[in-house]
């Protein structure tokens, strides 16, 4: 086998392994529905467990500190941050993204 072929195989196998890891992790977390994570900033102790457990790396702790809902384009709404919060600071709130106004 030529050195070019070996280099090609090493490069593609490494890339495929990385893609496989991402695919495996993506399969573990399902998107629940349209919604957002809403914090209670008065109860947050800034431990960072929510951010550590976010599969896409959103700084949930910063949102909790400011008391702002997590409205992030990469948020899967998987609920990992809500489930892992030791103080129950975070809750998942359903939203209708396509609602045009109040009936």
Give, for all 103 residues of the chain, the pLDDT tens digit.
666 655 555 565 555 544 454 455 555 555 555 678 999 988 999 999 999 999 999 999 999 999 999 988 888 888 899 999 999 999 988 776 555 555 5
Q: Which residues pair with 35 in a beta bridge?
A: 94
pTM for this predicted structure: 0.60
As a whole number of angstroms, the distance between CA 55 and CA 78 comes to: 9
Fold of 35-94: Alpha-Beta Plaits (3.30.70)
Distance CA 6, CA 12 (A): 10
Domain boundaries, the chain: 1-29, 35-94
């Amino acid at each position: 086998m030529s050195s070019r072929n070996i280099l090609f195989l090493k490069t593609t196998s490494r890339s495929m392994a990385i893609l496989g890891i991402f695919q495996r992790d993506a399969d573990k977390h399902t998107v629940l529905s349209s919604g957002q994570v809403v914090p209670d900033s008065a109860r947050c102790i800034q431990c960072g467990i929510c951010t550590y457990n976010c599969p896409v790396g959103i700084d949930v702790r910063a949102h909790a500190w400011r008391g702002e809902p997590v409205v992030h384009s990469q948020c899967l709404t998987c609920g990992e941050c809500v489930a892992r919060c030791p103080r129950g600071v975070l809750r998942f709130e359903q939203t209708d993204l396509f609602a045009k106004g109040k009936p």
